[in-house]
Structure 1
């Protein structure tokens, strides 16, 4: 497992870059148990859990760091697992169904389940590892008026007739007039009911109201989520008894990438059907939760920061020492021409890791 060990070590070596966007680069080294999502709406709450502002986000400002679980970080299918804080309206809005919102098909038998699951996870986080900003978001969400407030703020367009009886407007049919900004913010084919929401909490004297940039929020979530994990075994990467990963991250090459480097047995769906018969995967090797999170986050960051792409293939080279190394795709003759430069830096040209 040299590749995963190298990536794990790379994350630890570069931990000062966690959560930092470098100048001129969109690459982001993620904190543990976090992912990135494109948000479409930003909601600002005051210290009393009242919505005081909302805005539609331009495509350049949409990338948002959000806490996630193992299940939500790689979610897909007809019944996607909710994120714990920022998510789509079907999870966040208690009045989503009142405006004619349509949940994903897996929730069709119990449409309220998506919102209930979100409230349960956010509430459990706040109970077990309290944070003042999480409490404010929870208090607001419990009011079940998010869509109503977004309609009042002219963020979400609805059929005419008053916000209490109105329904989501799914497309803009008037070709003679400019559509509301939300239609430009969403991916093609999506409706305003599909909007993803991120939170700002404005507390007097607090230096960081943007929850996705607040390190205390990252730490609070990591502490809470770590306390909920009880699948313990031998990690074959670091040789320690530790909490093992039950699922492994995706989104390595880009935000829509569902391919995984490490898969697992399925009991349904049969995405992967292995030869092992146990339910916990211990008939094969185990990988620690922290190890797989760090390794995948490091690889995702390296690909975005310095990777080379050939269609769907991504190639990246790096040195654990942080020293300069040859371009992985440079012509052999050119590499030999540069050999003296690398030797002068004290680096063997073969000293690199390639994934």
Structure 2
């Protein structure tokens, strides 16, 4: 099914939540609540900064400055208005509801309101208010200063009649009255081959799909003056044919999905959702690392279970809950068969605004049955590596950083930080890089694309220059991530060439005789040896000679090893010759094929894996010896 078909199907599943705001509105504020609401047919959102209190006779009883975002009735024309003046049916900017600002626009507003207000007392009160009073003058009377710059300030009306709720923005009766009016005014053309009603095609399309670029439209056909479709179509009606109801359902559903399930990076939105109602709940975020699927994810699932309203039903209908099983699978890579029993068809889509007015679909993938879980699981298995996470916690009012060791795949954010050459996450270059990397990783995970060599090479180049880091601990974390990425690359290559016997693992392979892997092992042995001597001398957090020379070692391993060995001489004397270290070096040297050790050409990224595996194996061996000695004593 196409993207639009899946969006229409999803709308039918979640339409019960139409117009409702989440329970967390009180915590997050009105603006966030309105953004996450499913917009009803014939409605849009409007940021307002003025609230006008009106009585039953249309007299203004108060004006207050209060910023929020509300759901408002709209027409096709007003929903996508740009330069041409088109009023909204009820709530609008000050220039439309104050005749002192723009008599022409106010007249258009009143004519439209008169057509649909009927005998509703609240709408009649608003009509009288705008017809007979100036909001600007009333604001001054109530101590609210307005200038010429406030022409575009949104205005919300509250009408107090008896004990009824005065907030018109949440009045269901008024929303239903407007929707009924729109449906009566639609021109029905007949029925299609499936028996569905056909209406006159719309020529105006909604915006605000992605809030970070509110003017960008997913659908548009107004470029005839620029000859966009010249030679193919003679009119925009031939280029794009969508009826109003379908257009609004498509855009409203996508907007709801972006704000509830999407990951935003600038103008880019990555959205994943289920296209039919699953039995369980929150969706797995493909951008997360293995460590991210922990108790915090389970708490989201538990919170969802506590809700039993239309909004939670809509969230459940578009999500999949594999929290406990998936967490266990990613921690120990077991139970994959259990995981596959809880899946549904999934859609992955990436949206990006190419310009301020155009929103494009840069990636779309529909995954049937167990494909979604299978591909995420395959990613986490292939990219699994022993990683370190720094988890912050507050203990007795003080912030502490806990170091957690685990085996799994890094998150997209970890990969971006490892490969990006800038640490300023607020910079435009970082955000641009992050957008590009996320899109390419999604294509790699779900689209079958090869892991981007540009990311792999960037990560390798960065981590082989440890002296460029301010913090050695951050470097080691990035080094682990780089190993994870290159391991996945080598696995993909062996799988493509059907050489499963050569698959690289995350643990030390004592018999692997690859030159670059062996040179990585030698560097790790030198690093661990010098670090152990320094530790006994009480020296901490000083980079070893192996780390200092890593960049040179990568470029010219044979000659740099000679230099490094000379610099280890004082440490060998301190360790009484370091016989155990020499023996381990000899064992590795014996694995080199003839001529490989003397070959001084640059090392491939395979040396990263050899270094990491050997370093962990040596540290583990040292810990075992230490524990054995302690037990004997």
**TM-score, length of structure 2 as denominator length:** 0.43
Following the alignment from structure 1 to structure 2, what is the Cα–Cα distance between the partners of residues 72 and 84? 9
Aligned residues: 297
- Aligned 8 A contact 1:235 1:241 in 2: yes
Q: Which residue of 2 aligns with 1:17?
A: 17
Residue 41 of structure 1, CA deviation: 0.4
**TM-score, length of structure 1 as denominator length:** 0.75
- Aligned 8 A contact 1:263 1:272 in 2: no
- Aligned 8 A contact 1:234 1:286 in 2: no
Following the alignment from structure 1 to structure 2, what is the Cα–Cα distance between the partners of residues 95 and 251? 30
Q: Which residue of 2 aligns with 1:188?
A: none
Unpaired runs of at least 5, structure 2: 25-31, 294-325, 350-633
Residue 344 of structure 1, CA deviation: 3.6
Following the alignment from structure 1 to structure 2, what is the Cα–Cα distance between the partners of residues 234 and 259? 32
CA offset digits 1:163-189 (Å, max 9, x no partner)? xxxxx4x5xxxxxxxxxxxxxxxxxxx
- In the TM superposition, 1:196-235 aligns within 5 A as 196-206=154-164, 208-230=165-187, 232=189
Q: Which residue of 1 aligns with 2:63?
A: 54
Q: Which residue of 1 aligns with 2:103?
A: 112
- In the TM superposition, 1:12-91 aligns within 5 A as 12-24=12-24, 26=33, 27-58=36-67, 62-77=68-83, 79-91=84-96
Name the structure where helix makes up a greater proportion of residues.
2
Residue 76 of structure 1, CA deviation: 1.2
Aligned-residue CA RMSD (Å): 2.9
Going from structure 1 to structure 2, the CA distance change for 1:235 and 1:327 (only over 3 Å counts) comes to: farther
- In the TM superposition, 1:251-330 aligns within 5 A as 251-254=208-211, 256-266=213-223, 270=226, 275-278=232-235, 281=237, 283-284=238-239, 286-323=241-278, 324=281, 325-330=283-288
Following the alignment from structure 2 to structure 1, what is the Cα–Cα distance between the partners of residues 123 and 227? 36
CA offset digits 1:48-99 (Å, max 9, x no partner)? 11111221104xxx1111111111111112x332211111111101222xxx
CA offset digits 1:93-148 (Å, max 9, x no partner)? 1222xxxxxxxxxxxxxx5321111111111122xx44221111001111042221
Secondary structure of residue in 1 paired with 2:163: coil
Q: Please, which of 120, 128, 137 is the counterpart of residue 131 of structure 1?
A: 120
Following the alignment from structure 2 to structure 1, what is the Cα–Cα distance between the partners of residues 259 and 227? 27
Going from structure 1 to structure 2, the CA distance change for 1:192 and 1:341 (only over 3 Å counts) comes to: farther
Following the alignment from structure 2 to structure 1, what is the Cα–Cα distance between the partners of residues 172 and 227? 36
Q: Pick the structure with greater CA Rg.
A: 2
- Aligned 8 A contact 1:42 1:56 in 2: yes
Going from structure 1 to structure 2, the CA distance change for 1:195 and 1:235 (only over 3 Å counts) comes to: farther
Following the alignment from structure 1 to structure 2, what is the Cα–Cα distance between the partners of residues 238 and 36? 32
Residue 234 of structure 1, CA deviation: 7.2
Unpaired runs of at least 5, structure 1: 97-110, 158-167, 171-190
Q: Which residue of 1 aligns with 2:153?
A: 195
Following the alignment from structure 1 to structure 2, what is the Cα–Cα distance between the partners of residues 235 and 278? 23
Residue 218 of structure 1, CA deviation: 0.7
